[in-house]
Amino acid sequence: MEASKQFSKIMQGKLWKFFGGIKPKELKRTQDTPIEELPIPALITIPLDRHLGPDGEILVNVGDYVKTGQVLTRPGGTRYVPAHASTSGTVTSIAMSVLPHPSGFSGLCLTIKPDNKDVCVDFNGISNFKEVSPRELINIIRDRGIEGLGGAQFQTATKLQAAIDEGNVCNLFIVNGAECEPVATCDDRLMQEKADEIIQGVDIVAHILQPKLVLIAIEDNKPNAIKAMSLALQKREDLKDLVQIRVIPTLYPSGAARNLIKILTGIEIPYSEHTSECGIVVDNVETVFAIKEAIIDGKPLIKRVVTVDGSSLHKKGNALIRLGTSVRFVLTNYNLIPQRKQRIILGGPLMGFTIPSIDVPITKSTTCVLAPSTNDMEFAPPEMNCIRCGKCARVCPSRLVPYQLYAYSKAQKHNEAKKCGIDDCTECGCCSFVCPSKIRLAAQFRKEKAIASLIAENQYRNLRAKERMAIRNERLEKEAKEREAKKKAALARIAMQKNGTDDAQLKAKMIEEARARAKAKREAALLKQTETQATNIDPVEIKGNMLMSNAGLRQEAKMSIKLDIALEADTALQENSNIKAALPFNLRQGAVKKHYQGYNATNREIVKHTQNVDIIEYKGVHTAIESMDKNVAITTQNNILNTAKKLPLNLRKDKNQCKLQ
Amino acid sequence: MQITVKSAKQNLGIETAPHIRDNMSTPRIMLYVIIALVPAFITTIFFFGFGVLWQFVIALISSLICEVIVAFLRSYKLKHHLADHAYIVTALLLALTLPPLIPWYFTATASAFAILVVKHCFGGLGQNIFNPAMAGFIFLMISAPSSFYQTYVTPSAYAYKIASLDASASIILEGRDPQELRMQLKANLENADIITGATYLESIKTAKKSGIDDQINNIDFLGHDFNAYFYLALAYILGGIFLIATKVILFQMPLSFLITIFIGGYIWHNLAPNVSLSGIEHLLCGGTMLAAFFIITDPVTNAGTSKGRIVFSIFCALLILLIRVQGSYSDSVAFAVLLANATAPLIDVLTKRRSFGIGYKKGGLQ
Ligand code: SF4
Ligand code: SF4
């Protein structure tokens, strides 16, 4: 009952406030420059990794002729969308190429040499979408490659699907026209110029979701867009009751989905929940526009509006750019006069990233291309000590205490950082913006999250390895038992043959029993050990000399005639292999050697040495590790070090970053 | 996945987001604090003489030397290390709180203690648990109580004429006996005889203890003898307003602090008039105003979140009342602040902010 009261409040236009937020200079200089379409560039590069998935398929070959809008990939699974050719031409290569990423990663890209004719495939639009079922519409949206154009590039079809899946009812559809990033004006211009089409798009989404209410949220620094949208809405009698335009106060980051939801509904959706499962769907205006194009005109998503701004450019404005156009082409068209160490930023000044190369394509997530001069945006000044002024905590929209998080993260205390809520951080950059000591808080959090995900991945792998280890141990045990049984039978046979008397039989039986007892004892001890051992990684062979010792033991066992020795060696071997597996990763190779070096033994001596003492020694190591407690702690620490190399460049130690600069 | 040769050659600037920053910086915050202290500083010179200026110079030189030593020991870049101006603020606060005529080596030691031990032994700016200026003050008060009390002067208008630059220099730097100058300054008052101690606070405490407080009661803070307190408070408020306007401090902190002191003092005075000062006296005397705007608002040594800071202020105010009325020292601000500093981490824990999305009901909007 209370919830519906909430809903009526929302209907009446009540606005809430989210915690924190900042008011940076808006810098929206391109608010009044109309969107202009950029010409066809000399080369189109389309990154494919978001369009393939695990078992996707590239549908064209090098040398093929493709038309504008032709499907290039068939993605595996519904989590990905197909890629489309953004102009007609010949496919010249399918190879690794630099991606628009802060570290300059390369990934699989498809390159098209345009023929400048722009020959289109036939677009089959649906004029009367109301007769098509939502499910089909969603499939069309997916096939036309629609993804979130607000920057996050979340797949729209999946979002819509989740909102109407069984059990979920969509009550509220929010069109996000907040555009809170400074400088960015692409959504603003689009609303001013294509208001009617956006409303049509809203109509389509409303048909799919059947919400009780649609809100179009626009920040109050866009009066023209508000006017245009209201006009367009007035023309549509049928949508009047359903759709409302909400003017919200200008505050960064009100455009982030959860913050926008808080403003419009007063509900805080925890970061652990999906918004679509809460009966609320948020989509960017440009995405809604793309949905309209996809459904009504049948056009796939091959162009997007990008704000091009910055004092190093002679011309500024909003450009309709074909996806895959290189940033270099865009900048050339806008007359870049580069400075020393010119920064090129993809995305807004608060969340965008500088790119190390301008030969990267524009993708669906590119909202802005900025080429700021130092007058515009200064280079980051050196960091000073945190004075705990608490400004960062006052602006964090996720209600975190950034300086605390930062301290934990810097000290590599990942668990504490997690407890403090690092997962809630949206990397919005508010904290870095206000910090008087100019500490790069948001950058540290980005890094921390990357490290945390690496650790999580490692832990997952460890777990898997543990499982495998357990299975292996079981198998070994079974095998040992079988061997034992065989040996017993053989022994009995020999005894029978030799003595043939009852007396001898009895004796043999007694011996056997005694042995069985001894064995049971040994096994119990063994079991105990297997239980307590720190099995974290698949048994890795310990390096040459250890292997040799094992092999030696094994051979000895084989050659020995005496049964008891064989048994002994068998157990020893087994014990040995158990201990071997018990060693944590960091102690396996170099550490083992080091351990022995402590005894002043050369490598060759170790071989001899180990043949006699290894078991004892290993036990020593083993207990030492156990007492050190928690393999995970050790291995994760160790793995971080190991995986540091795998970290993307921007996430590595600052040193490297400096080097890059 | 690696940096290609091509990309490395383009020589573009790389930097982490966000690319724009607020123009408020730590040096600027410190500068604002210094500016905000100027009116109070001038007023203090007017009522206490030029001794304060000497103290400031000595404290500044001493802390500067200490900072240089620290920068050298920790191999920091000197320019970067000195850029934060925090040591100037510490020196200013020390000069304002220490007795104006205390010999220079005391000031220098207090300042060195504040910088080296209280600040840098804990890890430098931002890591210190205790307020350096207050800790330096207490260090001196405890280790050299007699010279501490012998060098405090009674505030009177135009004191700077009597305690001129030369006169105070001869005491502070050359070690002449301060008694003569102190008497001169006291003679400046109209009713010098009702002040038994150096300051009003000290005198009234003695009076209340011995049960004869009629004379000194109900004094006029606008009158000739006691307007020093009034104008000093005004100067601090002026500086405080400047800090609030420039968003360096939260207005909630001094407000809750002063209100607590006033109401607490008022109630206590009404319950036991011959034990406690009245509310207004609590506000104007001693270091209340200085503490309200410049000491408890020190970001480093108080609680983290806004809520925690208000709790901190109120707690500190209550401590001041308690120590002032029941303690044996004449003023209690420094002790109360240090005690409150020590509880700041606890306050931090107790006032932990709820995380985003608490109270969310499954199913969201219905
Ligand atoms: S804003 Fe910067 S200086 Fe202030 S508390 Fe946060 S991290 Fe520290
Ligand atoms: S970047 Fe993270 S910690 Fe900083 S303000 Fe944004 S959400 Fe809060």
pLDDT in tens, chain B (366 residues): 344 444 455 778 888 888 888 888 999 999 999 999 999 999 999 988 898 999 999 999 999 999 999 999 988 888 888 888 899 999 999 999 888 888 899 999 999 999 999 999 988 888 888 999 999 999 988 888 888 777 888 888 888 888 888 888 888 888 788 788 887 877 777 666 666 666 677 777 777 766 665 555 566 677 777 788 888 899 999 999 999 999 888 899 999 999 999 999 889 888 887 777 788 888 888 788 899 999 998 888 888 888 889 999 999 999 998 888 887 777 778 899 999 999 998 998 888 888 887 777 766 665
Q: What is the Cβ-side half-sphere exposure of residue A613, based on CA atoms within 13 angstroms? A: 11
CB contact under 8 A, A349 and B20: yes
Query: Which atom of ligand 2 is closest in space to residue A441's alpha carbon?
Result: 4
CB contact under 8 A, A432 and B84: no
Domain range holding B233?
Answer: 26-350
User: For residue A103, what pLDDT is reported?
Assistant: 80
CB contact under 8 A, A278 and B365: yes
User: For residue A27, what pLDDT is reported?
Assistant: 84
CA distance A111 to A97: 9
Ligand nearest to the CA of B26: 1
What residues of chain B, 280 to 299, have a C-beta less than 8 Å from chain A? 299
Query: Residue A155 — very low, low, confident or very high, per pLDDT cuts 50/70/90?
Result: confident
Helix ranges (DSSP H) in chain B: 5-9, 26-48, 51-73, 78-82, 86-97, 104-112, 132-143, 145-150, 159-162, 165-172, 179-187, 200-210, 227-245, 252-271, 279-284, 288-290, 306-326, 333-350
Which tokens is B106 given? 């005391």
Assign B206 to helix, strand or coil: helix
User: For residue A537, what pLDDT is reported?
Assistant: 42
Return the top range by mean pLDDT from A71-75, A502-506, B34-38, B225-229.
Answer: B34-38
A643 CA from centroid of ligand 2 (Å): 26
CA distance A193 to A459: 51
Tell which residue, A256, A244, A258, A260, has the closest CA to residue A212. A244
CB contact under 8 A, A171 and B363: no
Residue B363 counted as domain residue: no
Contacts of B170 (CB under 8 A, 6+ apart): B176
CB-CB neighbors (< 8 A) of A98 in chain B: 4, 6-7
CA distance A81 to A51: 5
pLDDT one-digit tens code per residue, A283-333: 999 999 999 999 998 889 999 999 999 888 988 899 999 999 999 999 999
Q: Which residue has the tokens 């939801």?
A: A261
CA distance A326 to A582: 53
Query: Residue A268 — very low, low, confident or very high, per pLDDT cuts 50/70/90?
Result: confident
H-run or E-run covering A450: helix A441-498
Ligand nearest to the CA of A259: 2
Q: Could you tell me if the CB of A183 is within 6 A of ligand 1?
A: no
- Option in B6, B305, B357 nearest A357 (CB): B6
CB contact under 8 A, A661 and B365: no
CA distance A306 to A364: 10
Is the CB of residue A294 less than 8 Å from the CB of residue A140? yes
CB contact under 8 A, A385 and B125: yes
Axis crossing angle, helix A441-498 with helix A631-643, rounded to the nearest 10: 120
Three-class secondary structure assignment of A220-260? CCCHHHHHHHHHHHHHCHHHCCCEEEEEECCCECCCCHHHH
User: For residue B313, what pLDDT is reported?
Assistant: 93
- Option in B12, B84, B353 nearest A356 (CB): B12
DSSP state of B114: I
Residue B17 counted as domain residue: no
Tell which residue, A277, A135, A297, has the closest CA to residue A201. A297
Tell which residue, A509, A395, A413, has the closest CA to residue A452. A413
Contact B310/A at CB under 8 A? no
CB contact under 8 A, B364 and A432: no
Q: How big is the CA angle at A493 (ends A490 and A499), to the nearest 5 degrees?
A: 135
Residue B8 counted as domain residue: no
The mean pLDDT of A109-131, rounded to a whole number, is 87
Is the CB of residue A433 less than 8 Å from the CB of residue A56? no
The mean pLDDT of A449-472, rounded to a whole number, is 91
Contact B320/A at CB under 8 A? no
Query: Residue A44 — very low, low, confident or very high, per pLDDT cuts 50/70/90?
Result: very high
Tell which residue, A537, A546, A566, A541, has the closest CA to residue A554. A566
Is the CB of residue A292 less than 8 Å from the CB of residue A22? no
> Could you tell me if the ipTM is greater than 0.90?
no
User: For residue A331, what pLDDT is reported?
Assistant: 92
CA distance A139 to A141: 5
CA distance B163 to B182: 9
The mean pLDDT of A404-421, rounded to a whole number, is 88
Is the CB of residue A287 less than 8 Å from the CB of residue A296? no
CB contact under 8 A, B12 and A421: no
Whether A90 shows a pLDDT value over 90: the answer reads yes
Query: Which atom of ligand 2 is closest in space to residue A402's alpha carbon?
Result: 3
- With the CA atoms of B265, B268, B270 and B273 taken in that order, what torsion angle do they form, in degrees rounded to the nearest 10? -100
CB contact under 8 A, A354 and B19: yes
The mean pLDDT of A436-444, rounded to a whole number, is 92
pTM of the model: 0.76
A481 CA from centroid of ligand 2 (Å): 59
User: For residue B124, what pLDDT is reported?
Assistant: 85
pLDDT one-digit tens code per residue, A547-577: 444 444 454 444 544 444 444 444 445 544 4
Mutate to test the pocket of ligand 2, among A180, A251, A392, A428 (most ligand atoms within 8 A of CB): A428
User: For residue B257, what pLDDT is reported?
Assistant: 93
Query: Which atom of ligand 2 is closest in space to residue A442's alpha carbon?
Result: 1
Nearest residue (CA) to ligand 1, atom 8: A386
Contact B5/A at CB under 8 A? no
CB contact under 8 A, A432 and B365: no
Ligand 2, residues at Cβ distance < 6 Å: A 395-398, 400, 402, 425-431, 441-442, 445
In this structure, whether the domain defined by A1-13+126-300 belongs to CATH 3.40.50.11540 is answered with yes
Per-domain boundaries in chain A:
1-13+126-300, 380-487, 515-660
A442 CA from centroid of ligand 2 (Å): 6
Chain A residue with minimum CA distance to B124? A385
Q: What is the Cβ-side half-sphere exposure of residue A252, based on CA atoms within 13 angstroms? A: 24
Contact B16/A at CB under 8 A? yes
Helix ranges (DSSP H) in A44-105: 49-52
Tell which residue, A305, A346, A450, A303, has the closest CA to residue A100. A346
Contact B7/A at CB under 8 A? yes
CB contact under 8 A, A390 and B365: no
Chain B nearest C-alpha distance from A105 (Å): 5
Nearest residue (CA) to ligand 1, atom 2: A435
Whether A8 shows a pLDDT value over 50: the answer reads yes
Select from A389, A426, A643 the residue whose CB has the most chain B CBs within 10 Å, as the one to mutate to test that interface.
A389
Which tokens is A84 given? 């489309």
pLDDT one-digit tens code per residue, A335-345: 888 888 889 99
- Option in A4, A429, A649 nearest B18 (CB): A429
Contact B20/A at CB under 8 A? yes
Residue A525: how many other CB atoms lie within 10 Å: 12
Lowest pLDDT segment from A163-172, A214-223, A573-582, B77-86 = A573-582
Residue B258 counted as domain residue: yes
Mutate to test the pocket of ligand 2, among A396, A403, A434 (most ligand atoms within 8 A of CB): A396
Which phi and psi (to 5°) does residue A306 adopt? -130, 135
Mutate to test the pocket of ligand 2, among A22, A401, A427 (most ligand atoms within 8 A of CB): A427
Residue B279 counted as domain residue: yes
Query: Which atom of ligand 2 is closest in space to residue A428's alpha carbon?
Result: 6
* N-terminal to C-terminal alpha carbon distance within chain B: 46
Chain A nearest C-alpha distance from B52 (Å): 28
Residue B65 counted as domain residue: yes
Nearest residue (CA) to ligand 2, atom 1: A427
Residue B19 counted as domain residue: no
B352 CA from centroid of ligand 1 (Å): 17
Is the CB of residue A103 less than 8 Å from the CB of residue A356? yes
Count of domains forming chain B: 1
Residue B141 counted as domain residue: yes
Query: Residue A217 — very low, low, confident or very high, per pLDDT cuts 50/70/90?
Result: very high
Q: What percent of chain A has pLDDT over 90?
A: 29
Contacts of B215 (CB under 8 A, 6+ apart): B194, B207
CB-CB neighbors (< 8 A) of A268 in chain B: 356-360
Select from A388, A418, A438, A446 the residue whose CB has the most chain B CBs within 10 Å, as the one to mutate to test that interface.
A388
CA distance A322 to A306: 10
Helix ranges (DSSP H) in A303-355: 327-333
